[in-house]
Amino acid sequence: MGGQHELQVWAEDRLHADRAAKAAITDVLRIEAKYSRYREDSVTAAINRAAGGAAVAIDDETAALLRFGARCHALSGGRFDLTSGVLRGAWDFARQPSRIPTDDEIATALAKVGWERVEWSDRWVRLSRAGGMELDFGGIGKEYAADRVAAICMDHGIRHGFVNLGGDVRVIGTQVDGTPWRIGLRHPRRMQAVIGEVELCDAAVATSGDYERYFEADGRRYCHLLDALTGRPVDHWQSASVVAPLATLAGSWGTIAMLLGEAAVPFLRAQHADYLLVAADGTVSCGGAAFERARTNSLERATNQ
């Protein structure tokens, strides 16, 4: 799990806070170890090694993550796909100088993508295609871990706190004084600025953007969010921030919104999600009560400038 992580909990005494934080961090590391695609001994690696071969037995947790991934795949019309990680083989964002892959390279990578070629049940999973098909829980694992952290803290009696795993935030209760937690939303183009803020109690906000990993070529930005249908980066939105009861939902809805392009607004409305979308030209559109305030604040700032 890359990125910066932060956990704040409020308890009656230091001992209780430490205990809760320790249990939560242990669980995040457990999820990281279990699902990391970089670790040889992870569940993900075991599934990927067996691609084209025998089915791999899985536990309830992995089955639930697969089920959730299946819902994301269905809801996004196939654009969100737990097997789309192999597209990174064609799109190398670390490469210097950067290079746009050829159509053939994209087609070769796309041939290894396809949720419909994942055979699975509550007890086993099998990638039906040999030769490089891969499963990657990266798209949902971090948000799932954030929700687990909140639940573990609450089980330890924590009533106020928040966890921020690489920009995906889940809050527990309110601040100690009873006011909502205020979460700033990063500006997709000005790295030190916020484009809005959101007030949360017992909820989550996640932001998906085109600025995390990208390269520019011929005046165009190519970001790391790749559409599993086309094998190409999305370019309709600069960022999508979504508020939901769970980080798992906020994160996946945000990613799906980025992937859906224009269809993101009706999609988010159908989920009853609150959202703040920044279009490619910088135009902000908001929906839902949580962002009413964000819009007002940014208008005030714009007026004052």
DSSP tag of 197 = E
> Burial level of 219, CB count in 10 A (0-12/13-18/19+)?
exposed
Q: Which of 154, 229, 279, 280 binds another protein (CB under 8 A)?
A: 154
Say how many residues touch another protein, by CB under 8 A.
36
Q: How far is the CB of 64 from another protein (least distance, A)?
A: 5
> What are the two backbone dihedrals, phi and then psi, of residue 6, each rounded to the nearest 5 degrees?
-145, 140
Per CB under 8 A, which of residues 1..20 are in contact with another protein? none
Rule CB under 8 A: is residue 255 a binding residue for another protein? no
Say if residues 279 and 237 touch (Cβ distance below 8 Å).
yes
Cα–Cα distance for residue pair 14/242, rounded to 1 Å: 33
Q: How far is the CB of 183 from another protein (least distance, A)?
A: 19
Q: Which of 1, 25, 55, 229 binds another protein (CB under 8 A)?
A: 55
Q: How far is the CB of 62 from another protein (least distance, A)?
A: 10
Residues facing residue 164 across a β-bridge: 6, 169
Complex with another protein: residue 34 or 187, whichever CB lies closer: 34
Complex with another protein: residue 231 or 287, whichever CB lies closer: 287
Q: Which of 86, 106, 110, 118 binds another protein (CB under 8 A)?
A: 118
> What are the two backbone dihedrals, phi and then psi, of residue 61, each rounded to the nearest 5 degrees?
-65, -50
Cα–Cα distance for residue pair 125/183, rounded to 1 Å: 38
> What are the two backbone dihedrals, phi and then psi, of residue 209, each rounded to the nearest 5 degrees?
-145, 170
Q: Which of 131, 272, 303, 305 binds another protein (CB under 8 A)?
A: 272
Cα–Cα distance for residue pair 153/17, rounded to 1 Å: 9
Secondary structure class of 77 (helix, strand, coil): coil
Q: Which of 1, 46, 70, 100 binds another protein (CB under 8 A)?
A: 70
Rule CB under 8 A: is residue 123 a binding residue for another protein? yes
Which residues make up the interface to another protein (CB under 8 A)? 27, 55, 57, 60-61, 64-65, 67-68, 70-72, 75, 118-124, 126, 144, 147-148, 150-152, 154-155, 245-246, 248-249, 252, 271-272
